Structures are given as C-alpha cells and as structure tokens.
Chain A
Amino acid sequence: MELIVRRRGEEEHIRLERRGSGFLVRVADRSYEVDCTETSASARSLLVGACQHDVSVRHLGDGEYEVDTGTGLERIQVLGRLEHLAETAHGAKATLGAVRVTAYMPGRVIALLAEEGARVQAGDGVLVLEAMKMENEIRADRSGVIKRFLVDVGQPVEGGEPLYEFE
C-alpha cells in the first residue's frame, strides 16, 4: 500500500506493509516497525520499535487529519496514489493550446475511443485505462481535437506518462 502524505505543502510517499501484528512503514527511504492500537475514540498508542508514542488523531474530512503528538497540532492530507495523480493531471488543465494529456495513474491502455483528428466534446471518452483491476475511462475535460495518440492498445503506462495530444 502506498499513500502520499502532505504537510504544509511538502509531500512524502509512505509505504505500509503488514509485518506481524503491525506494519513495516517506509517514509521515503526510512523504515519503521510500527504497532498501533486504539486507546480511545481519538487516541492511539504507537509503538515504533519499542518506543511508545501517545497521539490523538481526528479526521477533518476528505483525507485530511489533525494530529496531536503532544508537541502541537499538525494537519496532514493523505491521498491514495490515484487521487494524487488525478490532482496532478488536474494541474495541467490550465495550459492552453496543444497539450499532452498524461495518465493520472499507472495502468494499461485497453481501448482507444476516438480517432486521431476527431473533434470531441468535454466529457467524451478518449481512451480506457485499466488499473488495479478497474477500468477507467479517460474523458476529455473540454472540447477540442485529438491530434495524436502517444500510446497503443495493450501498452502499460506509468503515472504521468503522456497519452495523447489535444488541442
């Protein structure tokens, strides 16, 4: 499991892996053995190795958490990889003129839904990407012309990889 956590605009990737009764947690290149147990509705006891940390945590909505470790309050945004990529792709929207539309998640192209040179309306499907056993239709976010596909059916793509040119 990989999650992206954001604190004061800075992002880190966290990998969580089951290890005995707890988790092996990797934050960037650092790893921790973590055991977590609920001590009240909003309080958790974390054993990081043998070191105990008492923390309070509250979900503020939309994957945003308020964490109190006893040294002050911090707000942390947690995103799944797909949500994170979707946000990144969204950021490209503002660009005008010919743009390269990128994959917001890693996956495999399983269908192209439009012809090169075809005019599409906002919301029309352009291609289908399969990721984590789910098919996701990639739709045009505004009307325009599909200039050129940069991928083929069956091809695996990485998150952020360009899919097609759009004008």
Chain B
Amino acid sequence: MSEPPPKRRFRSPFRKILVANRGEIAVRVLRAARERGITGAVVYSEPDRASLPVLLADEAHLIGPALASESYLRGEAIIDLAERIGADAIHPGYGFLAENASFAQMCVDSGVAFIGPPAGAIAAMGSKLESRRLMQEAGVPVIPGGYSPVTSVEDAASRAEELGFPVMVKASAGGGGKGLRRVSSSAELGSAFRGARSEAAASFGDDTVYLEKYIERPRHVELQVLADRHGQVVSLGERECSIQRRHQKVIEEAPSPVVDPELRRRMGAAAVAAAAAVGYENAGTVEFLLAATGEFFFLEMNTRLQVEHPVTELVTGLDLVRWQIAIAEGRPLPPEITDTEIEPHGHAIEVRIYAENPDMGFAPSPGRIERLRLPQGPGVRNDCGVYEGSEVSIYYDPMMSKLIVHGRDRGHALERLERALAETRFDGVNTALGLYRELICDDDFRQGRMDIGLLERKIEAGELRTPSQSTEERDLPLIIAALEHLERQARSSAVPHRDGRRNHWREAARIEAAGGDRWN
C-alpha cells in the first residue's frame, strides 16, 4: 500500500493571505495583512475590476462574472486559486462564504488555513434550534420556548398555550428576519406557522420552525469574543446594536448605554460559555436580547468577523483582524488580553453608509460616486470600500462605507458623529446621511432609550424627516443649475484664458455684462 501524498500545509507565520470578499471588508483585511508584512491577494468579479480592494491589493485574481454564485461564492475555485498562488490562508470577510461550514472544512482539507472558526462550530451555530439546545446545556440563558421542531398547528397551539402569548415562530435555519412571525393570539397561530414554514423553505431550503416566547421591546446587545487554538476564550465587551431597520443593523455603539460593569461581566461570562460549548476559535460574536427587566437571552452566534467590529476595536485598542490572523497562525492570546478584565475606554459609534434612498423605502440607489468627501479630524475613522468616481454596483450589498467615531464618553462621541456627518459627502448616489443626522438629535436616541423597533417606529411616525427647508435651501439647486447652464454656454464660446485656468462664471458674467445672449 502506498502512502497518500503528504498533505500541503500552510506556512506559519503566514506569508500570503487570499481575501475571498469585496468592498470595505476586503480593504480592512488587506490592511491588517500588510501591517503584518503579509502579501495580500484578492479575488474579484468582472464588475469589480476597478474596485478599491483590487487597487490596494498586492495581487488580484479574476474569479468570475458578476453573479455572486459564479464568483465570490465559488468555494472550490477559490481554494484552488489559493493553492495555485501559494496562499497560506483564506480570509472570508463577512457574508459570502464566511459562515459556510463545508467551505471552512474544504480549506482545512486542502492545507489552507481558514481565518475563522472550525467547521463544526459554524455548523453547530448555523441551526438555531440546535444552538438553543447546546446553549441551554452550557448554562447560557435562552428565550423560553421549545427545543424541538413544531410539527403541526395543533402542536404549535399546545406549546403556545404553555408559554403564553405573544410568541414568536422562528425558522431554525433563519437569519436576517426571514421566517420570523410574531403571534399575539391563538387565532393568528395557524397562518403564522404556515407562513414562517414556507418562507423558511423558500429562503433556506429547510422548513424547520420552532416556538419561542416573544420578548417585548428588547435591546440587541452582543458580545465580542476571541478564542485561540489553545482553549483560551475571552470576552471583549459588548456592542449595542438596537438601531435596526428590517432586522438589519444601522448604527452600532460600544459600550451599551445601559450595560454596567456587573452586567458586562455576566454577559461576557455567558458569551465565553457559549463559544466554549461549540469549541469556538477565532473572532466571533454572541448576540443577546436584553429585556427591559435586565434579563438577557441568547439569540444567536455569528461565527465570523462582524461589520460593526470597529467600535470594539476603538474602545479596546485591539486590532481584531490582526488577532484573527495571529489566532489562525496558531498563536496563543497573550496574558494582557486573557488575564485582565477588558473595560471599554471611551465610547465609539458606527454608522453604515449605504447607497440607498430613504424616500423610496430605502431601495438601493446604485450609481457613480461623483464626489466623495470622507470626514477627518480627531476621533474619526472611515472603513470605506469605494473611491470618488467608482461605481456602486447593482450586483452586491450597497454598503459603501462605515463611519466610526470615538470620544471620551457617549456625549462626546455623539458630538463628533454630528460634526463628522456634516462633513461627509457621497454625491451622485442617495444615502441615509440626512436621516442619521436627524436620528442623532432625537431625544430617545440621545438618552439611550432604545429597543430594536425604535428606528422603524420613528420612521413610520415621520419623526425623522428632514426639517422643512428654507426658501433659500429650496432655491439653491435651481441657482446652481442656472449658473451651470450659463457656464456651459460661456465655455463653448469663450476664448481660453491666458493662464489656462479660466473661471467660467467670470467669463459668463463678462458675456452677460456685454449684453449678449450667446445662445438660442
């Protein structure tokens, strides 16, 4: 019998990392790689040829056409590429292949390090029902409810009776608010059960649903954890992510305005227990619902780096992506992280900037970024995936950038955020920047009185509408268009100025003074 060929094994420390993602997160990973002296390679789809990650990477490799299923989701092709180019590790970013257990396993089997948790941990947390059971066994508080699938309307009715209305019907494979139904009375149960099931089947190919007690107006508070490959797990404190729209986070902050050191310790211990229960490694996030009563309940674990990781970085001073790489290389977390209780320094807030139109139900607003001005100055960080002149594609998530501010305390951070938002320009596409500026002046938000429904209630009530414009503000676009029209006419008829830097408006003004309508 011949020996199987020796398996290829990645070098440690890594010398080259392949980023299997796009946009701002690809840029984020490239930066961490470069700071550690590691060559950064990216994959890109055809429409992303001129995207920022491609421009910043040491190597860029075409992986397929626009459609994600033919490019960024081609796990085998990406692993083949990693082997071909001699990459030691793959960083999946978030989304795409980040929480795909079989992809993580394929990486390991191919001798390429997966910068993320083991496949088993991804799979265990991928099923809500399974993870509920595991968490309950590990002593992590879970929302009262079932630990087995609901099989029929009758079954649902008897369980709901036990729990007491209102209840939630949830898809076991769920995420992003799909396959989720709130039920306030037994009359609604039948249709909610059938609706959640068919939605779950359509979205996830798995119609397993279960029942939970409905928590009234909870906050979303999540704990960042780091786990090395030597059994050490630490909590890096919480993020408050209650400002959501359609179950998508919009604004995140650290610390939470309502979490005190004692609650932080308890939630942190629960998060560490949750991660340990599934043999977690690398960076992960344990999400909890925090009820008005102060009780908290396990919601799910995101087995990847999260969009909102920068707020934790700013208040802990830790570079999470750097630690992700170090952990994947097999390095242990040092005592200064494992042996000290991590308390937040100051306060950080992140807003996500999407190409979207708040006046059209937040529909994506793709287009060319005609002008980009990112805010600067003290306490401001931008994790931006685009540049002036780049196109926001219709094919992918329309998030362009994240603005993150850091201040002494929450009030200071809010002052900085307000100032930074006023500096920010993403001209040429629509954004919700105006809405954010209204929201951060809102009394409930300023006082930290929030729950996961706050933003939607305020939008529906029309409370966040931009204050009515002054006559001058309304006239401004008209004046600009008229001046521009005049300038175009002058440009087509005026002789070039001697220094070559003509001021066309002066030119136009001169023509106007000479009494000429030069057009028509």
Chain A positions near chain B (C-beta within 8 angstroms): 1, 3, 5, 7, 12, 14, 16-18, 21-23, 25, 27, 30, 32, 34, 36-38, 40, 42-44, 46, 48, 51, 53-59, 63, 65-74, 76, 78, 80-83, 132
Find chain A residues with CB under 8 A from B477 CB.
Answer: 7, 55, 67, 69, 74, 76
Q: By the criterion CB–CB under 8 Å, are A32 and B485 in contact? A: no
- Give the complex CA separation of A42 and B428 in angstroms: 10
Cα distance, A82 to B482, chains bound together (Å): 15
Of all chain A residues, the one with the shortest Cβ separation from B502 is A38
* CB closest chain-B residue, reference A72: B430
> Contact at B428–A58, with CB atoms within 8 Å?
yes
Binding site of B, secondary structure by majority: helix, strand, loop or mixed? Answer: helix
Q: For chain B residues 343-393, which have a beta carbon within 8 Å of chain A? A: 359, 370-371, 373
Interface of chain B residues 458 through 491 with chain A (CB within 8 A): 466, 469, 471-473, 475-486, 488
- Asked if residues B482 and A14 are in contact (CB atoms below 8 Å), the reply is yes
Known: A16-B512, A42-B370, A46-B476. A76 touches B471 (CB 8 A): no
In angstroms, Cα B493 to Cα A153, docked, is 33
Given contacts A42-B371, A71-B434, contact A132 B517 (CB under 8 A): yes
Show the binding face of B for A, using Cβ within 8 Å.
359, 370-371, 373, 425, 427-430, 433-434, 466, 469, 471-473, 475-486, 488, 503-506, 509-510, 512-513, 517, 519-520
Do residues B505 and A57 form an inter-chain contact, with CB atoms below 8 A? no
CA distance A136 to B475 in the complex (A): 33
The contact of B480 among A55, A63, A71, by CB within 8 Å, is A55
Q: Quick check: B478 and A27 within 8 Å, CB to CB?
A: yes
Q: What residues of chain B lie closer than 8 Å to A80, measured between beta carbons?
A: 517, 519-520
Q: How far is the CA of A48 from the CA of B483 in the complex (A)?
A: 13
Q: Which of the residues B472, B476, B513 comes within 8 Å of A55, measured between beta carbons?
A: B476
Q: Say whether B478 contacts A5, CB under 8 Å.
A: yes
Bound form: Cα–Cα A51–B473 in Å: 11
B468 nearest CB across to chain A (Å): 12
Q: Are A23 and B481 in contact (CB under 8 A)?
A: no
**Bound: A79/B486 CA distance, A:** 11
Question: Are A18 and B520 touching (Cβ within 8 A)?
Answer: no
Q: A37-B505, A42-B371, A82-B520 are in contact. Are A57 and B478 (CB under 8 A)?
A: no
| Cα-based distance from A81 to B473 in the complex (angstroms) | 24
Q: Which residue of B466, B479, B488, B504 is within 8 Å of A25 (Cβ)?
A: B479
B117: min CB distance to chain A, Å: 42
Asked if residues B482 and A16 are in contact (CB atoms below 8 Å), the reply is yes
Given contacts A14-B478, A83-B520, 13 further A-B contacts (CB under 8 A): A5-B481, A14-B479, A14-B482, A16-B483, A30-B472, A36-B483, A37-B503, A42-B370, A58-B428, A65-B481, A69-B477, A78-B482, A81-B520
A42: chain B residues at CB < 8 Å are: 370-371, 427
List chain A residues, Cβ under 8 A from B472: 30, 32, 48, 51
- Ordered by A's residue number, 30 sampled pairs between the chains whose C-beta atoms are within 8 Å are A1-B486, A5-B478, A5-B482, A14-B478, A16-B482, A16-B483, A21-B509, A23-B483, A25-B479, A27-B478, A36-B480, A40-B371, A44-B483, A46-B479, A46-B480, A54-B425, A59-B484, A65-B484, A66-B428, A67-B477, A68-B370, A69-B476, A69-B477, A71-B469, A72-B359, A73-B428, A74-B477, A76-B481, A81-B520, A83-B520
Contact of A71 with B484 in the complex, beta carbons under 8 Å: no
Q: Are A3 and B485 in contact (CB under 8 A)?
A: yes
Pair B505/A23 contact, Cβ less than 8 Å = yes
What are the 6 A-B residue pairs with the smallest beta carbon separation, nearest first? A56-B427, A76-B481, A18-B509, A68-B427, A82-B520, A78-B485
What is the distance, in angstroms, from B366's C-beta to the closest C-beta of chain A?
12
- CB-CB under 8 A for A43 and B371, given A3-B482, A17-B512, A73-B430: yes
Give bound CA distance, A72 to B485, whole Å.
20
Q: Is the Cβ of B479 less than 8 Å from the Cβ of A32?
A: yes
CA distance A10 to B34 in the complex (A): 54
Question: Which residues of B sit under 8 angstroms from A12, Cβ to Cβ?
Answer: 475, 478
In the complex, what's the smallest C-beta–C-beta distance from B49 to chain A, in angstroms? 23
How many angstroms between the C-alpha atoms of A42 and B389 in the bound complex? 11
Closest to B519 in A: A80
Report A-chain residues with C-beta under 8 Å of the C-beta of B427: 42-43, 56, 68, 70
A35 to B15, CA, bound (A): 55
Q: Is the CB of A25 within 8 A of B482?
A: yes
Looking at A12, A32, A73, which has the most chain B CB atoms within 10 Å of its CB?
A73
* Chain B residue nearest to A27 in the complex (CB): B475
Q: Give Cα A25–Cα B481 distance, bound, in whole angstroms.
A: 12
The CA-CA distance from A7 to B469 in the complex, in Å, is 16
Q: Does the CB pair B484–A22 fall under 8 Å?
A: no
Q: Which residues on A sit within 8 Å (CB–CB) of B476?
A: 46, 48, 53, 55, 69
A67 touches B480 (CB 8 A): yes
A47 to B: closest C-beta gap in Å: 12
Distance between Cα atoms of A40 and B520 in the complex (Å): 28
Q: A23-B505, A67-B481 are in contact. Are A18 and B510 (CB under 8 A)?
A: yes
Task: Tell me, rounded to whole Å, the shortest Cβ–Cβ distance linking A46 to chain B.
Answer: 7
| Least CB separation from A3: chain B residue | B482
Task: Verify B510–A32 contact, CB threshold 8 A.
Answer: no
